[in-house]
Every structure is written in C-alpha cells, then in structure tokens.
C-alpha cells in the first residue's frame, strides 16, 4: 500500500500524531488518548501501520498474562520513503486535501462560517532552534485538544512546513 494512502486515514493520523508527540506508547495508551474510536477499530488501524512498517514494535512485555507491545514510528522508513519521492509525497498529500475540500464544497449544506473552514499561510523567519521550539509548542497544543469532546465535531487540521525559495536563488 502507498504510504500516503496508509497515512491519509484520519484514525491512523491520530495514532501517528500521538506517537509523534510521545515518542513511544502501548496500544492501550493510544486507545486511552484516542477516545472517539472504538478499541477494535483502533487496533485494526495500528495493525495496518505495523504491517506497512510505518510503526514497529520497540519492546514486548508480559503484563498480567497478556503481551503488551511498545510501539514507535519507523523513522528510517518514513525518511527513506519521503526523501525518495518528496514531490510525489507532497502531491499525494495535497491532492488528498483537495479531494476533501471538493467533497465538502459539493454538499448543499456546506457552510464555511458555521463549519469554521479556515486556510492560512504564514511566513516566519526563525532559526532552526526557534523553529524546533515552535513545532514543540504546536505539538503540545495539538495534544491538548486531541481528545474527543462530547458533542464535538470532527475537524481536520493540516500543517505543512516548507522552505521558501527566495527570488534570485
């Protein structure tokens, strides 16, 4: 399965975001954090990520008679896949977003204000250290709001960080 297809699923993205924020976690820890997804569904998506080698089992241990797996993101595979075809990966990511907007916009009940549709591009001039701090803060904000709220609406938020090619370069 193509990496972007694997990652374009919202449940799998939640798993990846949780692991990006925490570094490693058990399936139980992820399940406790991703409360809007039934455990069997979540486990199925985690198994897909394992099968596609996006995640790997860092450690296995016995806990009260059952086997507990400590999961982590396969950074090497992610880097190799992305670096080998960065333009293809970006294209697939953006096309998936485009298709979501197209499906949303084709609905008669689409209401940009009510649904709080937002698109923004901000340009920053930051050192690598400041950028790393910025991304850590963004991660903390995402983690804070990632738990499902009763009567909440599902919302998709995407971030893209890319260098800007300045004129004359």
44-94: per-residue pLDDT in tens? 999 999 999 999 999 988 888 888 899 999 988 777 765 556 666 677 677
Closest among 20, 11, 14 to 140, alpha carbons compared: 20
Residue 124's domain comprises 3-92+109-145
Q: Does 160 fall in a domain? A: no
We report the CATH number of the domain holding residue 75 as: 1.10.10.10
Q: Does 54 fall in a domain? A: yes
Q: Does 16 fall in a domain? A: yes
- Bigger pLDDT: 125 or 98? 125
Query: What is the mean predicted confidence (pLDDT) over 140-168?
Result: 80
Q: How far apart are CA 162 and CA 145, in angstroms?
A: 24
Strands (E), the chain: 24-26, 55-63, 66-73
pLDDT of residue 81: 64
Q: How far apart are CA 159 and CA 169, in angstroms?
A: 25
Q: Does 150 fall in a domain? A: no
* Count of domains observed in the chain: 1
pLDDT at 99 exceeding the cut of 80: no
**pTM value surpassing 0.85:** no
**Weakest-pLDDT range from 12-16, 23-27, 78-82, 110-114:** 78-82
Query: What is the mean predicted confidence (pLDDT) over 136-149?
Result: 84
């Amino acid at each position: 399965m193509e990496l972007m297809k694997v990652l374009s699923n919202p449940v799998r993205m939640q798993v990846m975001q949780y692991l990006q924020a925490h570094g490693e976690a058990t399936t139980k820890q992820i399940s406790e954090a991703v409360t809007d997804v039934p455990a069997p569904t979540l486990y199925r998506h985690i198994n897909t990520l394992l099968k596609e080698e996006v995640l790997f089992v860092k450690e296995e241990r016995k806990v009260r008679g059952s086997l507990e797996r400590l999961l982590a993101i396969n950074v090497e595979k992610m880097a190799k896949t992305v670096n080998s075809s960065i333009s293809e990966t970006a294209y697939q990511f953006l096309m998936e977003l485009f298709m979501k907007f197209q499906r949303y916009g084709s609905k008669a009940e689409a209401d940009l204000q009510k649904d709080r549709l937002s698109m923004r591009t901000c340009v920053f001039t930051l050192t690598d250290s400041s950028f790393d701090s910025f991304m850590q803060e963004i991660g903390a904000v995402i983690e804070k709001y990632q738990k499902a709220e009763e009567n909440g609406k599902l919302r998709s938020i995407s971030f893209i960080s890319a260098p800007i090619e300045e004129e004359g370069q």
